[in-house]
Amino acid sequence: MAKIKGIELIKDGKRLDGRKPFETREVEMKVGIIPNANGSAMVRFGKTTAIAAVYGPRLLLPKHLQEMDKAIIQCRYNMAPFSTDERIKPGTSRRELEISKVVRLALEPVLFLENYPKTTIDVYVEIIQADGSTRVTSVNAASLALADAGIPMKDLVVALSGGKINGQLILDLNGIEDNNSEADVPMAFMPNKKHITLLQMDGELKHEEISKLINEMFKAGEIIYKKQIEALKNRYSE
């Protein structure tokens, strides 16, 4: 299906915000921003800002949801009413429900849950400003919040988006690119072994374009990974 055409999103190799195709926006990460939570983090890609909080492990109720030998993960992705141009009415949309699920699945493979029978680890993500790539921003924030909460993890989870605009493959789509792209591919992976834990795609791409994008996302992911490590260490600086 062809998306809205006619918007020139890339000119002389530069995107509307001046970025090169495989350049990410300015990335900011901060760990430990919510004193009440067991773990928390803020991650910003350009204007897109996600705040994640982890509560737990805590006893899961009602009882019939409990697993006898491990914790379960519950995840909620939510957009603040003022996060986009048009106000979002409070309440969960189908889109938010789906994203909540893929974010949870992106995190689950890295967690050691067996020490926490009958409990839940609740991961809440609030998008306080949205300008594209909100789900991958959420995954980065949740990865940091889980580490901050002292949950045992195999690895961190790094996430970013790729896509295609005006026939050119790009990384880290902003809002206008997201809305007018020929394809967008959000991805999350465990940096140590490059195991992919989230992969979605919308649009039209050839197989080799997908492979090329994934490789570029692995490369740029290294920078995001370093940012995560830095943010975790900064939590305990002075």
Interaction site with other proteins (CB under 8 A): 33-40, 47, 51-53, 55-59, 68-69, 76, 78, 80-87, 90-92, 110, 112, 115-119, 122, 124-126, 128-131, 147-156, 190-192, 229, 232-233, 235-238
CA distance linking residue 61 with residue 63, whole number of Å: 5
- Cβ 97 to other proteins shortest distance, Å: 11
Nearer to other proteins by C-beta: 115 or 179? 115
Residue 154 CB neighbours (<10 A): 13
- Cβ 208 to other proteins shortest distance, Å: 30
CA distance linking residue 203 with residue 214, whole number of Å: 15
Instruction: Return the amino acid letter for 47.
Output: K
CA distance linking residue 86 with residue 150, whole number of Å: 38
Nearer to other proteins by C-beta: 133 or 213? 133
DSSP state letter for 162? E
- Cβ 151 to other proteins shortest distance, Å: 7
- Cβ 159 to other proteins shortest distance, Å: 15
CA distance linking residue 168 with residue 19, whole number of Å: 13
Nearer to other proteins by C-beta: 49 or 169? 49
